Amino acid sequence: MAAIRAMLAAETRAATAASYNVPDPCNHVQTKGDKVRFKITVVGAGNVGATLTQRLAERNYADIVLVDIVEGLPQGKALDLLQAGPILGHDSVVTGSNGYEETAASDVVLITSGVARKPGMSRDDLVMTNAKIVASVARQVAEHSPDAVIVVVSNPLDAMAQVAKAVSGFPRERVIGMAGVLDTARFRTFIAQELDASVVDVAAYVLGGHGDTMVPLTSLTTVAGVPVEQLISKERLDAIVQRARDGGAEIVGLLKTGSAYYAPSAAAAQMTDAILLDTHQVLPCAVYLEGEYGINGLYTGVPARLGAGGLLGVVEVALSDSDREALHRSASSVQQLVDIMDARREDIDASMPPLSAATTAG
């Protein structure tokens, strides 16, 4: 009977991994020593955090702790997700908590907490409020999970990643921002719609900051190997680029009382797959640059290779002069937010080190 149970469990794990196009997690768990499952913490039980927890639980390779300051909220959502396990065929243990003791020794911590955008509100408007929240979370993560990889999802994304790195004291390899995966997905979606093509056939990268200054690389975008600039007129392509830049704001305007969460949670889950399953996949992420692309000391979206331990390396692609200039303008916009936070550093975290020391973009 035990042998049959083991066989059935292996088949379930393999089927689950295959359905998400990721390797069978049991092929990777053996590298974890005596630890048989990964541990993930998701901070923030709002729409993004709860949906992200659901996606990760259904992967069936990790146990998850969902944290939120609202009493009962993470516990209730965690219990609901836990009870979905028998239906969907996963054994992921999902726990809700209002503190961080239960998060101890997490492999990956995803920070989704913060104030959501409202109609007419830019990401920049969120900077001070969310900086305080992210700083508080990063300090707790450093205390309870000092070896974790932090994935920042909170907005304004690039600036919040800067705060998380400074407060946690983690190296750049273990503090990464989720933005480019989402922005690229939006760009690919709109191109596929324009051409009535499959999104699978659209290859693209969106670099730069998460917001109005993002840089879709149209010259490197292809559809089934054909350059997109040969398939779509410049006028239409410019309109698609602008819609991708406004992708989050468009959803906020439609929802009225909320912001996107299905696509952001999918993007964060894809990054988590790459890190925990050590896939070495190249994904556009917000990374603390140390001279790459002529930028130093700032988080900016670039192609990054992810695997065990977080960032394995920055991939530098050849950019046109105009794309490079746009990327530097985007980094300068992040710098402006960093300067705002530096000027009010005491209001965010009294012990937070300076954020903008030796930063350059150009």
Contact status, residue 109 vs residue 151, Cβ threshold 8 Å: yes
Q: Which of 28, 90, 144, 210 is catalytic?
A: 210
The contacts of residue 216 (CB under 8 Å, 6+ apart) are 183, 187, 204, 205, 206, 241, 244, 245
| Continuous segment of H or E residues that includes residue 62 | strand 62-67
CA distance 171 to 311: 10
* Residue that has been written with the tokens 């908590």 in this structure: 97
CA distance 238 to 232: 10
Contact status, residue 217 vs residue 319, Cβ threshold 8 Å: yes
Strand partners, 286: 177, 301
Strands 149-152 and 175-177: what pairing?
parallel
Using DSSP's 3-state secondary structure scheme, residue 97 falls into strand
Residue 328 annotated to the active site: no
How far apart, in Å, are the Cα atoms of 306 and each of 41, 183, 292? Answer: 18, 18, 16
**Nearest to 304, CA basis, from 321, 291, 295, 317:** 317
For the chain, the C-alpha Rg in angstroms (whole number) is 20
Catalytic residues: 210
